[in-house]
């Protein structure tokens, strides 16, 4: 009597399907994370242009990724003035940002990394509109 060929699936098919499923899940997670970033459409602040002439950027809204460096001052009605470090290494710059009193509920500590949405206000003051930990 002749033997019939095996009609079962080869184990390599299961491995291939598993790898494809894992890749699809990873790609979906990455795309969803990027789509829900509220700061993705904001332009990053051009620090050299800001330092050269801050008034030319007045009224515009930008994104800043930075590390909280130090608290420079506080006024109950206005808010707190911080210095943040942007960039790394030789390109690092310290910028002053004003966190309004409306954002006092956020716990800001030296050394924490944040993503800031800032507006260049009158006199070139960077006023924080929103922020989140990076």
Neighbouring C-beta atoms of residue 25, cutoff 10 Å: 10
- 110, 94 in Cβ contact below 8 A? no
Domain ranges across the chain: 9-38, 47-133
- 120, 59 in Cβ contact below 8 A? yes
pTM exceeds 0.85: no
The CATH superfamily of 47-133 is: Nucleic acid-binding proteins (2.40.50.140)
DSSP 57: G
- CA triple 83-84-85, angle to 5 deg: 130
Confidence of residue 6 (pLDDT cuts 50, 70, 90): low
Mean pLDDT of the chain: 88
Confidence of residue 59 (pLDDT cuts 50, 70, 90): very high
pLDDT of residue 127: 96
- Taking residues 56-82, what's their average pLDDT? 93
């Amino acid at each position: 009597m002749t033997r019939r060929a095996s009609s079962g699936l080869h184990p390599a098919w299961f491995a291939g399907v598993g790898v494809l499923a894992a890749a699809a899940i990873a790609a979906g997670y990455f795309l969803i994370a990027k789509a829900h970033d509220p700061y993705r459409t904001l332009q990053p602040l051009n620090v050299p242009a800001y330092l050269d002439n801050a008034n030319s950027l007045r009224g515009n809204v930008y994104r800043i990724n930075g590390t909280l460096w130090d608290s420079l001052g506080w006024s109950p009605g206005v808010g707190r003035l911080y210095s943040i470090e942007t960039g790394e290494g030789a390109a690092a710059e310290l910028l002053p940002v004003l966190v309004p009193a409306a954002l006092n509920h956020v716990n800001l500590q030296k050394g924490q990394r944040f993503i800031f949405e800032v507006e260049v206000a009158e006199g070139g003051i960077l006023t924080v509109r929103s922020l989140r930990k990076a």
